[in-house]
Amino acid sequence: MAEDDETGVAAEAELKKGFETLEVVQPDPSVPVHYIYLNRPAQRNALTPAFFTELPRALALLDRLPSARAIVLAARGPHFCAGIDLSTLAATSAPRSADRAAASELLRRRILALQATISAVERCRKPVVAAIHGACIGGGLDLVAACDIRCCDEGAFFAVKEVDLALAADLGSLQRLPSIVGYGNAADMALTGRGVPAAEAKAMGLVTRVFPSRAAMEEGVAALARGLAEKSTVAMMGTKAVMLRSRDLTVDQGLEYVATWNSAMLMSRDLEEAVRAQLEKRKPNFSRL
């Protein structure tokens, strides 16, 4: 426990140093929920090279922080995210080289590095809830597709816009959306580049909750995140890990995987505490991770 406390203190110290493109806050110190805000509102939170460095760092620190049992990904300003900043596209473009193979390999590594940033959301052990308002376009959609739960207000809209920039989306939308909304809906979005309003996004399963206003969404997402934070971190981590792993497996393979996982995790203190709390009709006191 002392080692965990030291790790948490170190993570908190790192978070206090701040970020260029993000704001990380814990609104209520008594509630173990942290918010990551995209924080370039004047630029509609377009994703810069600095963002692709800072987001994995912020997630890694929160992953180590015992006081962060759930994470909300939100945004400052009138829009969630307008996609990739042009400076990022320029930095990622193919380098000039007499050796086309070497230039292509360098570009491939740059794209893989951007992809790793988006995948860091998915790989974070803590549940990540997206709170989306306004535009969620291109790279913004890549980002929320990697979250565990997605909520929005009635004014939100979503678009895979890369096709209009003569590109194939390469940060995860084409890979994650089919399993979220179905192949047909994903193809419709990716090939047309059209904006999908909140009601349609809810109908196709892109978001699970639509709120009548941004204020209502913020209140509802806060309540949702609090509920997640009250549950066993061991159980939340296991559920997320098993679901992500099972996504790429057959049903039989997924069952084998969860059997192996639970053969270790069923011995957790949290399971004993959950049973005891049920019998004693009280709230459980789960382990901090």
Sequence-ordered alpha helix ranges (H) in the chain: 2-16, 49-64, 86-92, 100-123, 139-145, 173-181, 183-192, 198-204, 214-229, 233-246, 251-265, 269-280
Query: Which of the 8 DSSP states describes residue 93?
Result: S
> CA 157, 162, 164 angle in degrees (round to 5)?
95
**148 in active site:** no
**142 in active site:** yes
- Among candidate residues 134, 139, 140, 238, the one labeled active-site is 139
- Among candidate residues 122, 170, 200, 273, the one labeled active-site is 170
CA distance 218 to 76: 12
Written as one string, the DSSP assignment of 251-271 is HHHHHHHHHHHHHHHTT-HHH
How deeply is 284 buried, as exposed, middle or buried, from its count of CB atoms within 10 A (0-12, 13-18, 19+)?
middle
- Among candidate residues 36, 71, 134, 142, the one labeled active-site is 142
Angle between helix 173-181 and helix 183-192 axes, rounded to 10 deg: 140
Query: Which of the 8 DSSP states describes residue 81?
Result: B
**105 in active site:** no
- Among candidate residues 162, 172, 238, 270, the one labeled active-site is 162
**Is beta strand 22-25 parallel, antiparallel or unpaired with respect to 33-38?**
antiparallel
**139 in active site:** yes
What amino acid positions are annotated as catalytic residues? 84, 139, 142, 162, 170
